[in-house]
Structure 1
Amino acid sequence: MVEAGKEPLRRIDPPFVALGPSGVAIRDRLKHLTAQDEEVLRLVGDHLGSLAGKDLKARSATGLKHDTGQWAERKRALTAESSSRWAGSITKATHDQWALARRSQLAHVHNLEAAVATITHRLSLPVGAKGSKRAPGGYHSAQEWFAKSRRLRLLRDRLQRQRADYEAGRVRVVRGGKRLLGNRHNLDVAQLTETEWRARWQARRRFLSADGESGKRYGNETIRLTPDGQVSIKLPAPLAHLANAAHGRYILAAKVSFAHRGDQWRDRVSANRAVAYRISEDTDRGRWYLTASWTIPSVKTVPLQTARSGGLIGVDTNADHLAAWRLDEHGNPAGEPRRFDYDLSGTTSHRDAQVRHALIRLLRWAQHHNLAVAIEDLDFSAEKTREKYGRHKRFRQLISGMPISKLRNRLVTMAAELGITIVAVDPAYTTKWGAQHWQKPLTSTDRTVTRHQAASVAIGRRGLGHPIRRRTAPPPHDQSDRAGHRTVQAAPETPRRQEPRPRVPGPRTRSAPPKREANTGNQDTQHRSGRPTEHAQLTLSP
């Protein structure tokens, strides 16, 4: 049942332990490269980049009709102009890029469908009609209604074209990046000269990536990196005359020594296990970098009950900070709340560093108490549409600026290194119910609790398997009708915790009306029309 005037609650998914990372990537700078080394790297990258562009064009032309035979034919055509291993890396990168474009295309179709549905709904309402929390109302003025009606026709045409492309298997990919391509026509806005833009464009379109192969020398025959840091490249057939070593290889003057995970990398190459390498140029700094990556077995996660055994730390993610609170195994807040700030203004590297610094402080705190971390499993992909929050521009910028995916991925990776378990919980109603049930009780004369800190308590209780609703202290004597029924805090495993208390002789019990104690422990007979959502573990309405 749902109380009159209230919207039905959506289903709350159970918490789960997040899986650890499945791969590792480390990077080091190629220092002390000679002018000839840089020239060779540019020639090789440009040549292989042109082959990668042709292969992507051939793959896109086949669309959904592509099969393994056509893949083998493309690889044979590339082998004649490079080598078998270079051709394998190019065709695999092409396949991954086409698949990514298909996924992005489908996501774009879903976004257009959501926008069309939202505008259609709002146009069907009278001008000025109020909306609800789940659906927006009508448009504010006739002028806005007319503008949105024209936009609806535009979006429908765009949606029709995108659907046709998706069904036909046509994708559109810009090697080098669509944003950088657009900067060519707005050099003043991008603060670039034509020469600087051309250098960036060529660097982005180069191909200098080689997949690893277990059993081969040092785990990679194309880009070989020895345990002592010597880098050599297998030159493509047309550039074999540039070789300075045997078997058509070119040895760079730079030496590589990975400061992070260097021992792990050295163990892999010494055992001839597969390691993939990628060489890239930073045109702004005039530097070259080498990135090594390999797969690792999925980190074995602990059972959920084990992660909950000693309590955990609930974390609420916000636009400028992480609000955290430590909870014991019964769901009671312990100690003082913590706040881990980060500043998301400035460059990408600055924002990334801010997120990393906030996460490492959080994880060090969790490591000190030997506790797991409970965090919301957020996904704002469907909440950024301008059709849903068109007039709330600041709110759209707020949720768009929150580094949800980056923070989530970094948290899981960094927690795996420290041996900390991450428990993901459903974010439904955590802020609302946290403020309703925990903000005021936790506020004291010397501590003001924010709604974000109260939400962290709600997240932690949900991660522990407890209901968010706070069980209050006993009411004053002879005021049970006004103050509500007695709901003293009890652990979830306490037997018969929802049943009535034993009857104790005294004035209070003698004054109780007949048969009252029979319904004392029945939550369905209290002041709520339905059972608590998280106790019942069922969906009231979709």
Structure 2
Amino acid sequence: MGGLREAAEPFVVPGPSGVAIRTRLKHLTAEDVKVLRLVGDHLGALAARDLKVRCAAGLTHDKDQWAERKRGLTAESSSRYAGAITKATHDQWALARRGQMAYIQNLERGIGMIRHRLSLPVDEPGSKRAPGGYRSAQEWFAKTRRLHVLEDRLSAVRADWEAGKVRVVHGGKKLLNNRHNLEAAQFTEDEWRRRWEAERRFLQADGEAGKPFGNETIRVTPEGVVSIKLPAPLAHHANAPHGRYVLAARVSFPHRGDQWGDRVQAKRAVAYRIHEDVTRGRWYLTASWTMTPGRTVPLKTVRVGGLVGVDTNADHLAAWRLDKHGNPCGDPRRFFFDLTGPASHRDAQLRHAVIRLLHWAKRHGLAIAIEDLDFQREKTREKHGRRKRFRRVITGLPTSRLRGRLVAMAVELGLTIVAVDPAYTSRWGSQHWQKPLTTKTRKTTRHDAASVAIGRRALGHPIRRRTTPPHDDQSDRRGHRTVQAESDTRRREESRPRIPGPRTRCVLPGCGEKVGDQCVQDRSGHAAEYVELTLSLQER
């Protein structure tokens, strides 16, 4: 076992700290759409200007500059709109900084891998832990040139990081680049322009506790009436008192509508965002609020009744139910999904697979154990080289989205999620569990075996199993039985002792080289016979 990475301890995943629900704004009039676009364009221009100021400040930005930015925006909007814009701008700058650091780490991993492979002889075979040398001298030479390119990129990004300089596009860099390749992006100039304007609009407001309906800027009543506080330059478009505009649409929230209604009536903070889906030609309203995560169930309590081990794959979730001793129960389950097509289709497929898994676990009343996956180190092309198919597989795994969906949906059903270290689960699961669990009527895949390994690690049991029991006689020459001992049983991982006696008629009980109690073998008449022989020895 030398050189193997030590697996981290499993832990119970805390619940989500926020909720976001969305509904459609139906039956909007032409005037409603006009006002929404005017307000969104006006606030979007202010947000773009504020983002430029924030990026220029860099690391020297402080609370005084933040207050100055807010005062400059208040005159052209309102204090509440100014607060929402500055907060969103600061969050966007912080996100760009995190992305910049992730890019630096990715470049460092790529440079380290290229240097390692260049240090090896050409066509040097690799191992399971590290790739070998490059296949040809031509590839070796090409990688030396790529090494210099990556080093130049790294030095430039590091200089930006130290100076606090980030590059952010208000509206999205991908959409901006599509303007130069409209044919490849399958856009006309008018379609691109409408989408670009929609992405740059800013029409959202932060929640305010103690205010009527949880918000003063964008207000939604329990009856579904939506009204907006217009910025000062657009106040002449108001159709209600105090510079407000009431939309003709009436909204309701089918999902978590009761929770939203309770918060609105109790004057608790609720944030709102209005945005346009140009592709569908629809307007949507999103309500969000923060909440305190519930108390985390102790891991010892979760393990009492067993759990469900889940292995994440590129096209399905492999699950198997385990009892508290780590023994698989019943047959494995597979929940398939298709991650091709647009993002909305992929998200729906993943959501349907997760809810089927949760309903199955809910019927058995068990927690779910899943790997705490992170493929950032594996996604670099410098490590896997020409294995493009494998790189596509690990890149396509929706690890972060699956984890977020699973945790948020499990809380609603009252289920607990246990995260385990993914080290060696697939390899050891296939080695110890795939063949023993395969029968004439059941074909066990390596993913099914990995789900058993994940569940056993979450339960605190070792992944390896005991060997098959003897099938032709009652001797011990075939090794351990498959029956798992209790976790508190002493010496449960040792070899089973042999008790000679009347069955072998060779030596007296308690005198052999493998002395011990064989009650765990459940042999007929063994327990009574052992007690009787023990008493006779004591009398002697």
TM > 0.5 fold call: yes
| Conservation of the 8 A alpha-carbon contact between 2:96 and 2:167 | yes
1:534 aligns to what? Answer: none
- Pick from 35, 38, 52: which aligns with 1:40? 35
Q: CA deviation at 1:480?
A: 5.5
Is this contact kept in 2: 1:200–1:283, CA < 8 A? yes
Q: How does 1:297-376 map to 2 (within 5 A)?
A: 297-376=292-371
1:487, 1:509 → 2: CA distance? Answer: 28
C-alpha spacing 1:518/1:503, structure 2 compared with 1 (3 Å): closer
1:501 paired residue among 483, 493, 497: 497
Deviates more, 1:191-200 or 1:503-512: 503-512
- C-alpha distance in structure 2 between counterparts of 1:511 and 1:398, whole Å: 62
- How do 1:379-528 and structure 2 match up within 5 A? 379-475=374-470, 483-484=478-479, 489-498=484-493, 501=497, 503-505=499-501, 506-507=503-504, 510=507, 516-517=513-514
Q: CA deviation at 1:426?
A: 0.8
Aligned length: 515
Q: Using a 3 Å threshold, how does the CA distance of structure 1 residues 264 and 445 change in structure 2: closer, same or farther?
A: same
Stretches of structure 1 that go unaligned for 5 or more consecutive residues are 522-542
Kept in 2, the 8 Å contact 1:37–1:253? The answer is: yes
Question: Are residues 340 and 50 of structure 1, via their aligned partners in 2, closer, same or farther at CA, if it must alter by over 3 Å?
Answer: same
Offset at residue 442 of structure 1 (A): 0.9
CA separation in 2, counterparts of 1:169 and 1:373? Answer: 42
* Residue 292 (structure 1) aligned to one of 287, 290, 295: 287
Secondary structure of 1:375 counterpart: strand
* CA displacement at 1:517 relative to structure 2: 3.2
CA contact 2:271–2:288 (8 Å) conserved in 1: yes
- CA shift in 2, pair 1:486/1:238, >3 Å: closer
User: Which residue in the other structure is 1:533 paired with?
Assistant: none
Q: CA deviation at 1:160?
A: 0.3
Maintained 8 Å contact 1:211/1:276: yes
Task: Tell me the amino acid that sits aligned with residue 342 of structure 1.
Answer: F
Q: Does 1:178 align with 2:173?
A: yes
* Matching of residue 73 in structure 1 with residue 68 in structure 2: yes
Q: Is the 1:116–1:152 Cα contact (8 Å) retained in structure 2?
A: yes
CA distance in 2, matches of 1:263, 1:119: 56
**1:240 paired residue among 235, 238, 245:** 235
1:133 aligns with 2:99: no
Please give the alpha-carbon distance, in whole angstroms, between the structure 1 residues aligned to 2:177 and 2:129: 37
Render the CA deviation track for 1:216-261: whole Å, top value 9, x for unaligned.
Answer: 1111111111111111111111111111111111111111111111
Q: Does 2:38 match 1:50?
A: no
Q: Single out whichever of 199-208 and 439-448 deviates more from structure 2.
A: 439-448
Among all aligned residue pairs of Structure 1 and Structure 2, give the percentage whose two residues are the same amino acid: 69
- What is the Cα deviation at residue 519 of structure 1? 12
* Alpha carbons 1:325, 1:337 under 8 Å: kept: yes
Corresponding residue for 1:215? 210
Instruction: Report the Cα distance in structure 2 between the residues aligned to 1:186 and 1:250, rounded to whole angstroms.
Output: 39
Partner secondary structure for residue 387 of structure 1: helix
Name the CA shift for 1:306/1:188 in 2 (closer, same or farther; >3 Å).
Answer: same
Q: Distance in 1 between matches of 2:3 and 2:154?
A: 32
Match in the other structure for 1:27: 22
Separation (CA, whole Å) in 2 of partners of 1:169 and 1:511: 82
Letter in 1 for 2:497: R
SS at match of 1:60: helix
- Following superposition, the deviation at residue 489 of structure 1 comes to 2.7
What SS is found at the alignment partner of 1:378?
A: coil
Taking only aligned residues, the RMSD between alpha carbons, in angstroms, comes to 2.1
Distance in 1 (CA, whole Å) between partners of 2:469 and 2:281 is 70
Q: Which residue of 2 aligns with 1:275?
A: 270
1:186-241 deviation digits (Å, cap 9, x = unpaired): 11111110000000000000000100010111111111111111111111111111
Rounded to whole Å, the distance in 2 between the matches of 1:478 and 1:421 is: 43
Which residue is 1:532 aligned to? none
Within 5 Å, which residues of 2 pair with 1:69-148? Answer: 69-148=64-143
Q: Contact 2:322/2:329 (CA < 8 Å) preserved in 1?
A: yes
* SS, match of residue 381 in structure 2: coil
In structure 2, give the amino acid aligned to 1:203.
Answer: A
- AA aligned to 1:517 is K
Mapped partners of 2:122, 2:324: distance in 1? 52
Larger radius of gyration: 2
Shift of 1:134: 1.7
Structure 1 position 515, deviation (Å): 8.3
**Equivalent pair of 1:503/1:509 in contact (CA under 8 Å):** no
1:230·1:256 contact (CA, 8 Å) conserved in 2? yes
Matched, 1:190 2:185: yes
Aligned to 2:157: 162
CA contact under 8 A between 2:497 and 2:515: conserved in structure 1?
A: no
- AA aligned to 1:449 is T
After superposition, the Cα gap between the structure-2 partners of 1:487 and 1:329, relative to the gap in structure 1 and judged at 3 Å, is closer
Counterpart residue type for residue 154 of structure 1: V
Conserved 8 A contact 1:46-1:202: yes
- Equivalent residue, structure 2, for 1:526: none
Q: Distance in 2 between matches of 1:115 and 1:515?
A: 61
Contact 1:22 1:299 in 2 (8 A): no
**2:21 alignment partner AA:** I
* Aligned-partner Cα distance in 2 for 1:444–1:488: 18
Distance (Å, rounded) in 2 between the aligned partners of 1:479 and 1:485:
11
Output one character per residue of 1:497-528: Cα deviation in whole Å (capped at 9) or x when no partner.
2455363425387499x98438999xxxxxxx
**In 2, Cα distance between the equivalents of 1:411 and 1:176?**
30
In structure 2, distance between residues paired with 1:249 and 1:405: 40
1:421-467 deviation digits (Å, cap 9, x = unpaired): 11111111111111111111111111111111111111111111111
The one-letter code matched in structure 2 to 1:127 is V
1:501 aligned partner, one-letter code? P
Secondary structure of the corresponding residue to residue 246 of structure 2: strand
Give yes or no for contact 1:384–1:400 (8 Å, CA) kept in 2.
yes
Tell me the distance in 1 between the aligned counterparts of 2:375 and 2:124.
26
Cα distance change of structure 1 residues 508 and 91 upon mapping to structure 2, 3 Å threshold: farther
Instruction: Report the Cα distance in structure 2 between the residues aligned to 1:417 and 1:445, rounded to whole angstroms.
Output: 39
| Shift in alpha-carbon separation, 1:473–1:330, aligned structure 2, 3 A | same
- Kept after mapping to 2: 8 A contact 1:472/1:489: no
Instruction: Please tell me whether the aligned partners of residues 499 and 516 of structure 2 are also in contact (alpha carbons under 8 angstroms).
Output: no
2:499 touches 2:512 (CA, 8 Å); kept in 1? Answer: no
- C-alpha displacement at 1:477, in angstroms? 6.3
Pick closer, same or farther for the CA change 1:405–1:511 going to 2, 3 Å. Answer: farther
Could you tell me how far apart the structure 2 residues matched to 1:324 and 1:150 are? Answer: 46
Distance in 2 (CA, whole Å) between partners of 1:240 and 1:478 is 92
